[in-house]
Every structure is written in C-alpha cells, then in structure tokens.
Amino acid sequence: MRAEHPQKFTCGVGSLAVNSNRSLCVLDDRSILVEGITAVARYTYPGLVLRIGPVNPVSPKSDVAVLGGTVLSSCPLSAEFAALVGHASTIIALVDKTSITHIDDLRLAGVDVFVSVTEGLTELLRAIDQAFTGQAYVSPDARGLFERPTPSTPRVSPREREIVALYLSENDWSVDDVAAMLHISSQTVRSHLARLRSHFSAAGHRVHNRLELRQTLLGLGLLQIDELEAAPQLLAG
C-alpha cells in the first residue's frame, strides 16, 4: 500500500472529520503500513479514538476495525476470527491475491469492506469513510480479486503430508532433521518439498518460503494448527 501525504486525503469526510465519538482499531503486523494508516486517520478525523491491536475480551468495541497481514491468514470462519470481528461494528479487510482462497469466507464472517494493499491510502480512507456510515464497499483492485478464479488445490500425498507436518512444525526442524526422523534421505525430503512448492505455485498460491507454505496449507485445511503442535510430541514419545 503506497504512502501518501495527508493533504491528498480530501474524499468527502464531511461531518465525520469532526465527530470526536468515532473510533478506529487497526490490527496488522506490518508496522510501516500501520504507521501510515494511523497518521492519516489522525489527520483526517480530529478527535478520533484510535487503537492499535491486539484485542482481548475486555477491549472496548470500535466503530471500525482494519484487519490485515497475518490476521487474515487464519480461517475467517474460526472462533478466533469471529472474536476479532465482534470487536467492531464494521470490518475493513486489507486483501491481496493471497487472500483469494478466503475472500468469500471473509464476507460470510461479517467483513463488509475490502481494500487491496496495492492501492494507495486514499482508497483506504475512502473505505473508512464508507465504513463509518455502515456501508459495504469494495475497492476497484479488491473487486478484481473477487472476479478472479479461485486457485485449485493440488493433491498432497500421505508421505508429503507427513514431511510438511514435521518441516512446518513449531520446532523449526531442518530438512536433515526431518529426514533423520523419517529414516529417509535429505534429498528425498527436498524433492517432496520442491514438488509441493512447484504445484502450489502453479495453482496460484504463494509458497515462496516456509511461512507462506505453512499459511497456504493451513488456509486450505490440508494441515491443522494443533497437528503442527502435536506432531513433535508424538515423535518424541
């Protein structure tokens, strides 16, 4: 999302700009982006009550919440995500092409406003304006994500699933570690991981590194988060 000078933000804030009762919560792990959003929001809406995540059950409810980054990597229909949605009257999702597998579920979960990270902060401010009035809004670039075909889900063999469950576990095991535990060669592990990345990349998924591969497999339901936590304990036993 491109940074822009606050003076450019003139898209019809009207009476909202002087309403000191408005509140905005930003939940995103990209610090530079959060700094830009908060700076522009403070400039545009004098008196705005601004909160930066995380939220918990006792956190005050906001009029609008902006969700992005790894917050959107969890399943939109999960209890954890529902709790986030419940902390604001209107939710804005900062989406990109990695969100496409979840984008319909985000709507079902209660997200009404979508903005792509490829657009400038002016577009985000326009979305915030709409959100403060309780209106649904989809930015031009985000609309394109809805119109794109959903990536297919490549098949994962039982052996590949066993390998990635260990490789992507919270223990941060290396290829050599996984190979030793499964009594196979390190080259076999590398070959399976390379095949997975190749097939998922060809299907339209971002799997360039370990984190992206983990998020993709979790998002598609091919792995479960508790499975990644439990697998090392089972092996140790």
Same fold, 6-147 and 158-236: no
Buried b or exposed e, range 172-200, using 16+ CB within 10 angstroms: ebebeebbebeeeeeeebeebbeebbebb
Q: Does residue 201 contact residue 207 with C-beta atoms inside 8 Å?
A: yes
For residue 60, the model assigns a pLDDT of: 76
Residue 23, strand partner residues: 49
Q: pLDDT tens, 185-219?
A: 999 999 999 999 998 888 888 888 888 888 888 88
* Amino acid letter, residue 21: N
Confidence tier at 236 by pLDDT (50, 70, 90)? very low
CA–CA distance, 44 with 233 (Å, rounded to integer): 51
Task: Quote the pTM value.
Answer: 0.55
Q: pLDDT tens, 104-148?
A: 778 888 888 999 888 888 899 999 999 998 889 999 888 887 766
Confidence tier at 4 by pLDDT (50, 70, 90)? very low
Q: pLDDT tens, 53-68?
A: 776 665 677 889 898 8
| Domain regions of the chain by residue span | 6-147, 158-236
For residue 203, the model assigns a pLDDT of: 83
Q: What is the CATH number of domain 158-236?
A: 1.10.10
Does 3.40.50.2300 match the CATH number of domain 6-147? yes
Which residues lie below 8 Å from residue 109, measured CB to CB, with a gap of 6+? 76, 77, 81, 82, 85
Residue identified by tokens 């209660």 is 110
Average pLDDT over the chain, rounded to an integer = 79
Instruction: Report which of 104, 113, 59 is spatially closest to residue 86, judged by C-alpha positions.
Output: 59
Q: Does residue 69 contact residue 154 with C-beta atoms inside 8 Å?
A: no
Question: Which tokens hold the place of 212?
Answer: 């992206």
* Amino acid letter, residue 93: A
Q: Output DSSP code: residue 58.
A: T
CA–CA distance, 142 with 200 (Å, rounded to integer): 22
In the predicted model, what is the mean pLDDT of residues 228-232? 59
